[in-house]
Amino acid sequence: MSCKTVLSKEISSSFREELKATIKSRGIKPKLVGFLANQDPSAVKYAESTSKTCEETGVVFELRKCNREELEDQIVEANEDDNIHGIMVYYPVFGDHVEGLCHKYIYNMYHNVRFLDREETKKCIIPCTPLAIVKVLEFIGVYNPVLPYGNRLHGRVITIINRSEIVGRPLAALLANDGGKVFSVDINSIQEFHRGTGLKLKKHEVRDTNLKLEEIVPISDVVITGVPTPSYKLPTALLRDGVIVINFSAFKNFEDNVREKASIYVPAVGKVTIAMLERNLLRLFDYKSQD
């Protein structure tokens, strides 16, 4: 079998080591508070892995459980506490609504604004899972480092099957802002995110396409899935030979024979997500101390 399986543990390890070394050498105690306002087994599991990884790397993690009605007040309170450097909320809380991401960062992400300051010293915070997938794509050679920063996906065609507000849509925007041509698929429609021929646009634009899944998957260099049901399987027959496939769903969205066709298979990204969570926390710690 020529397919190479790349595990998220391998991808995340250099980030984890770097975080650990930084926290130790600087003697700092960045603190993360996680709010759990549901009984969703995936959310509980995510909270447990967060706790474990934080302990390993030297981040103080505190899990606060509450009812969803109390959540807003609790967030406001934590936000005013100078000893807390980052807050995360385990989803879902109120179902399908857009939840919890800071408005300024959302705006900047969609508008391809990468820094908070004119001097470009403070990078914007990117949501953990989309950021983790960017790091996965860098690790496995989809970003071309020969191209200038910001254009390194030029020429890549990427399908993302998931357009949730917390992963699929921001991911499509990030990859299109980096120069990729992205097909964003949800149950209702397929949209195309891109910066135009020759990347003539500064930020991506979005348009509906009449192309069907059966037409876009065979022309995609990379296919990323995040369908939250055990029954969904993308047919291997649709994939281009040598495709790169990445799954971020808790369920396997590819068929068992996907490795007969793919060149690289990343079955999960969870460990990279937690490394990015801590990396974001460290940035927030620094921005707070510079205020």
C-alpha dihedral sign at 218, 223, 227, 230: positive
Q: How far apart are CA 186 and CA 87, in angstroms?
A: 29
Any residues with CB less than 8 A from the CB of 165 and at least 6 apart, and which? 98, 99
The residue (of 173 and 222) whose beta carbon lies closer to a second copy is 222
Q: How far apart are CA 226 and CA 185, in angstroms?
A: 10
Work out which of 179, 226, 267, 270 binds a second copy, going by CB under 8 A: 179
SS3 47: helix
SS3 57: helix
Q: How far apart are CA 154 and CA 175, in angstroms?
A: 10
For every residue of 68-86, DSSP letters joined together read HHHHHHHHHHHHH-TT--E
Closest separation between CB of residue 194 and a second copy, Å?
8
Counting residues that bind a second copy (by CB under 8 A) gives 35
Work out which of 39, 117, 148, 207 binds a second copy, going by CB under 8 A: 148
Please, which of residues 2-61 interact with a second copy by CB under 8 A? 2-4, 6
Based on DSSP, count helices (H) and strands (E) in the chain, helices before strands.
Answer: 8, 11
The residue (of 139 and 285) whose beta carbon lies closer to a second copy is 139
Residue 128: active-site member: yes
The residue (of 155 and 235) whose beta carbon lies closer to a second copy is 155
- Cα 126–Cα 133–Cα 181 angle in degrees, nearest 5: 95
Contact 231, 167 (CB under 8 A): no
Closest separation between CB of residue 209 and a second copy, Å?
15
- Tell me, residue by residue from 228 to 247, as one string, x for binding to a second copy by CB under 8 A and - for no binding: ------------xxxxx---
The residue (of 5 and 79) whose beta carbon lies closer to a second copy is 5
CA 126 to each of CA 27, 107, 136, 280: distance values in angstroms, whole numbers, following the listed order: 25, 11, 15, 8
The residue (of 41 and 198) whose beta carbon lies closer to a second copy is 198
Closest separation between CB of residue 239 and a second copy, Å?
10
Work out which of 49, 144, 189, 229 binds a second copy, going by CB under 8 A: 144
Which amino acid, 96? D
Work out which of 219, 229, 235, 289 binds a second copy, going by CB under 8 A: 219
The residue (of 147 and 206) whose beta carbon lies closer to a second copy is 147
Helix, strand, coil shares, percent, the chain, to 5 = 40, 20, 40
Work out which of 96, 198, 207, 291 binds a second copy, going by CB under 8 A: 198
- Regarding 267 and contact with a second copy (CB under 8 A), the answer is no
Closest separation between CB of residue 216 and a second copy, Å?
13
Q: How far apart are CA 122 and CA 144, in angstroms?
A: 24
Which of the residues 54, 102, 124, 128 is marked catalytic?
128
- Regarding 264 and contact with a second copy (CB under 8 A), the answer is yes
Residues that bind a second copy (CB under 8 A): 1-4, 6, 139-141, 144-148, 151, 154-156, 179, 181, 197-200, 219, 221, 240-244, 259-261, 263-264
Give the active site residues: 128
